Amino acid sequence: MPNEHKRAQKIFKTLQQRYPDAHCALDYNSPLELLFATILSAQSTDVGVNKATPELFKAFPTVQDYASASPEKIEPYISSIGLFRGKAKSIYTSANMIVDDFGGEVPDNMKDLVKLRGVARKTANVVLGNAFHKNEGVVVDTHVGRLAHRFGLTKETKPDKIEKDLMALFPQEEWTTLSHLLVWHGRQVCKKRGGTCSEDSICKKFCSNASV
């Protein structure tokens, strides 16, 4: 195993020991709920999304309920979330596609998921990895991108290229968990500003920001 792969595994195992319960921060009970929660999370916080979705999910319990509504009927339930009008259109349009094109079931593959409005590769990776337990890629959000740089796992700046580097370094079965581990460490310790990297044992060992 090349040295960079050995180092990647050390990072993974160390993070896993620190955060054994790392998981998706969005609340959901079905692939449909996770899909729409992830669409809503774009440029918004998971905390904000989790505050809005209980009433949304209660008002629209099935995909047909969304498809039979309208963006305007969905908007009041997500008005606390940024870009809510566009996201309401995405939810409504995606619901109709799921009903019309996919037999009322959320697609469980990348090719079909990214056909839905408001769904790019990142969102599809979240749904596939967490709702269907399929490791098709690595979710690269701001935390994952930041830590991938600080841990020396990539020199790329674009999410798709960062993802390719991470996919090359880590075994496929680890991809979904890797995202969770990096997000949890990024939120709790290795923050964009005001983090505790200089005091943290993991950062001291692996993070270039530890001395900042």
Active site residues: 122, 141
State the Cα–Cα distance between residues 101 and 104, nearest whole angstrom: 8
Q: Which residue has the tokens 């399929």?
A: 134
Classify residue 14 as left (phi > 0), alpha (psi -120 to 50) or beta: alpha
Q: What are the tokens at 135?
A: 């490791």
State the Cα–Cα distance between residues 85 and 47, nearest whole angstrom: 19
Residue type for position 52: A
Q: Which residue has the tokens 């290229």?
A: 161
Name, in order, each residue with C-beta under 8 angstroms of 26's C-beta and a sequence gap of 6 or more.
34, 37, 38, 41, 46, 49, 50, 53, 126
